[in-house]
Chain A
Amino acid sequence: QKEVEQNSGPLSVPEGAIASLNCTYSDRGSQSFFWYRQYSGKSPELIMFIYSNGDKEDGRFTAQLNKASQYVSLLIRDSQPSDSATYLCAVNILGAAGNKLTFGGGTRVLVKP
């Protein structure tokens, strides 16, 4: 079992709809969770981080964390064609020295006009 798992997609979403991305992780002691967006040929860029159970909203993005169920999700409201990218979930793995993150394989999102 991979430490951080994501559905590879592609997740096809009509423009204006909500895109829902999920990520599960194996280490119950993980404390820090990040969502990165990566456009083709570019480097990952941070969208959001979340540390506590519940929802965290930032503009059109909402991150949801459920530590009991070991999943973190990202909602993109009012999806735009410019949101078409690969979304990477990253989790710190307890027991790793320092501040190491483990990344999931990413979910490719396609927003169709």
Chain B
Amino acid sequence: DAGVIQSPRHEVTEMGQEVTLRCKPISGHNSLFWYRQTMMRGLELLIYFNNNVPIDDSGMPEDRFSAKMPNASFSTLKIQPSEPRDSAVYFCASSPGRDRRGNTDTQYFGPGTRLTVL
């Protein structure tokens, strides 16, 4: 089984440029999450989707960030314009949702995209 796939794995760009990160969740999973990880702030949830619908985007830092999930097998996180403080590792994770008892189910992480904004 293929896990969560993210691309690119590394991205170096200059301030002001548009950056698009891509994610393919595990087939059959209903929920998709975008996280950002830095040394200072740890792992932060940016936004998540249930059945392709954005549920909670309260973690999106500002309007420069946007995320879409046009179908069950693809999502993008876009930063426009990018700034040096956006430099971080961005993880995508997917989850089946809830188990049969209604418990929150496990999230499976992709390998991450390391973004450097110069």
Chain A: residues with CB nearer than 8 A to chain B? 31-32, 34, 42-46, 49, 51, 88, 90, 92, 96-106
How near does chain B come to A74, taking the closest CB pair, in angstroms? Answer: 16
| Binary contact track B72-91/A, C-beta < 8 Å → 1, others 0 | 00000000000000000001
Q: Is B27 an interface residue (CB 8 A)?
A: no
Q: Is B48 a contact of A98 with CB atoms below 8 Å?
A: yes
Subset of 17 A-B contacts with CB under 8 Å = A31-B103, A34-B107, A43-B109, A43-B111, A44-B43, A44-B109, A88-B43, A97-B55, A98-B97, A99-B97, A100-B45, A100-B55, A101-B107, A103-B43, A104-B42, A105-B42, A106-B43
**Known interface pairs A98-B31, A99-B50, A101-B107; 11 further A-B residue pairs with C-beta atoms within 8 A, sorted by A's residue number:** A43-B110, A43-B112, A45-B109, A46-B107, A46-B108, A51-B103, A98-B55, A99-B98, A99-B104, A100-B56, A103-B42
Chain B: residues with CB nearer than 8 A to chain A? 31, 42-43, 45, 48, 50, 55-56, 91, 95, 97-98, 101, 103-112
Q: Is A99 a contact of B95 with CB atoms below 8 Å?
A: yes
Instruction: Give chain B's interface secondary structure class.
Output: strand
CA of A42 to CA of B110, assembled, Å: 9
Query: Considering the complex of A and B, which 6 residue pairs feature the smallest CB-CB distances, nearest first?
Result: A32-B104, A43-B109, A92-B104, A99-B104, A105-B42, A103-B43
Q: Are A106 and B42 also in contact (CB < 8 A) when A97-B55, A100-B48 are?
A: yes
Question: In the complex, which residues of chain B have a beta carbon less than 8 angstroms from the beta carbon of A104?
Answer: 42
